[in-house]
Structure 1
Amino acid sequence: MTVEDVFLLHQGRLVLASGRIERGRVRRGDEVTPVGSGPGTTARVAGIREGRHAVAEARAGTNAALLLPGAVTGGVARGHVLAAPGSIRAYGVFDAEIALSAQDEGGGEVRTGDALTCYLRAAGAEGVVTLPPGLDVLPPLHLATVRITLGRPVALEPGHRFPFRRHGRAAGCGTVTRLLG
């Protein structure tokens, strides 16, 4: 589940993390680990809510809120992923095939060392682009496989699609092709 909002309840003794479940299912009592900010603390799901109703389980495609113990307070934030322990990792470097928008739609030339804001799941992550050898500049309306080094690790999987911005303007979209570290 991608975390979209986090609320502290009962003076921080409980954490309510809401978001959309991407795949699988989650039940009360299942163990989940927040992925996206260092080593996550495994926690047991104390309750699940869909809208205003408490439910025993939530399945892929639904928006749900998971009630977790307060011990995970600092480890859950917007853009993190709550997943079964060991099922997904956070990466700081990845290869992606990117497509730049037209110049009048915000796209512009991209060079090695340019900063992009990649919107990976529910949060933006700053990244630096490295173009492939032999390519000095990537002009608008072109495709290329590039390496992106993020400022902080983010939960990623091959095939994940993402939009990105450059200088505060929508500049294009990409697809994660390879995870490196």
Structure 2
Amino acid sequence: MVERPFLMCVEDVFQRHRGRTVVLAGRIEQGRVHTGDDVEIVGLGGSGTARVEDILVRRVSVVEASADMNVVVVLRGGAADGVERGQVLAAPGSISAHTRFTADIAVLSEEQGGAEVVSGERLCFHIRCAAVWGTVTLPQRLDMVRPLHGSEVTITLDELVALDDGGRFAFRYRGRAAGSGTVTQLPGPVP
């Protein structure tokens, strides 16, 4: 079985030592990372590479960490200064950021918070650790997606977010959980 490239969502940023290091925490979704590896920072307007200076698991320094581990990572490099919650650290070139994608969505029942979704609706999308506003566009043949129903839609986000095919997300409507979806198609990478 081929191992997938390293990918970690940034859940929290603890310390910034201007121009030197950044300490952040998150869960590794896939792959492995080693002390000394270069990682790419992707999404939410940030980009660039930084070097992994140290990896901590349960407050113990380790040389390597792998998928499903909660870790604290110390990064060094100029790009590290801009790291924020919702971005991802990844093997360089393994994932790209997008503002527009196609997805299959399913709307919750009205009792669970679901409401009719129409074209042009502004929703808050929760993709990994990022919460980003975006607009839904329905297919021309459809005027709305009712609670307990689903549809393929196009979503345009307000900010660049690291996305991959098959990625899952949730969305909120007027502050309440309203449904979930799966990324089905991405355009080419954003320059």
| 1:78 paired to 2:85 | yes
| 1:45 paired to 2:52 | yes
State the partner residue of 2:74.
67
Give 5+ residue unaligned stretches, structure 1. none
Match of 2:32 among 20, 25, 47: 25
The change in CA–CA distance for 1:64 and 1:58 in structure 2 (over 3 A counts) is same
The change in CA–CA distance for 1:34 and 1:11 in structure 2 (over 3 A counts) is closer
| 1:179 paired to 2:186 | yes
The change in CA–CA distance for 1:39 and 1:73 in structure 2 (over 3 A counts) is closer
Give the superposed CA RMSD: 1.4
State the partner residue of 2:3.
none
| 1:167 paired to 2:165 | no
Normalising by the residue count of structure 1, what TM-score does the alignment of the two structures yield?
0.95
> Bigger CA drift: 77-86 or 65-74?
65-74
Normalising by the residue count of structure 2, what TM-score does the alignment of the two structures yield?
0.90
One-letter amino acid of the counterpart of residue 102, structure 2: D
Q: How big is each residue's C-alpha offset from its partner over 1:114-153, in whole Å with a ceiling of 9 and x where there is no partner?
A: 0111100012111100001110111111010000000001
Q: Aligned with 1:98: secondary structure?
A: strand
> Bigger CA drift: 87-96 or 7-16?
7-16
Cα distance in 1 between the residues matched to 2:81 and 2:103: 30
Cα distance in 1 between the residues matched to 2:17 and 2:97: 30
Alpha-carbon offset, residue 75 of structure 1:
2.6
Alpha-carbon offset, residue 71 of structure 1:
1.7
Alpha-carbon offset, residue 12 of structure 1:
5.9
Cα distance in 2 between the residues matched to 1:146 and 1:134: 11
Whether the 8 Å CA contact 2:19–2:81 is kept in 1: the answer is no
Cα distance in 1 between the residues matched to 2:122 and 2:81: 28
Cα distance in 2 between the residues matched to 1:102 and 1:5: 32
State the partner residue of 1:134.
141
Cα distance in 1 between the residues matched to 2:14 and 2:79: 12
Q: How big is each residue's C-alpha offset from its partner over 1:14-48, in whole Å with a ceiling of 9 and x where there is no partner?
A: 10121001111000110001000346221111111
Alpha-carbon offset, residue 11 of structure 1:
5.6
| 1:94 paired to 2:94 | no
State the partner residue of 1:155.
162
Cα distance in 2 between the residues matched to 1:170 and 1:20: 23
Q: Runs of 4 or more off by more than 6 Å in structure 1?
A: none
Equivalences, count? 181
Cα distance in 2 between the residues matched to 1:11 and 1:86: 26
Q: How big is each residue's C-alpha offset from its partner over 1:74-96, in whole Å with a ceiling of 9 and x where there is no partner?
A: 43110100011101000100111
State the partner residue of 1:118.
125
One-letter amino acid of the counterpart of residue 86, structure 1: G
Give 5+ residue unaligned stretches, structure 2. 1-7
| 1:56 paired to 2:55 | no
Cα distance in 2 between the residues matched to 1:166 and 1:37: 21
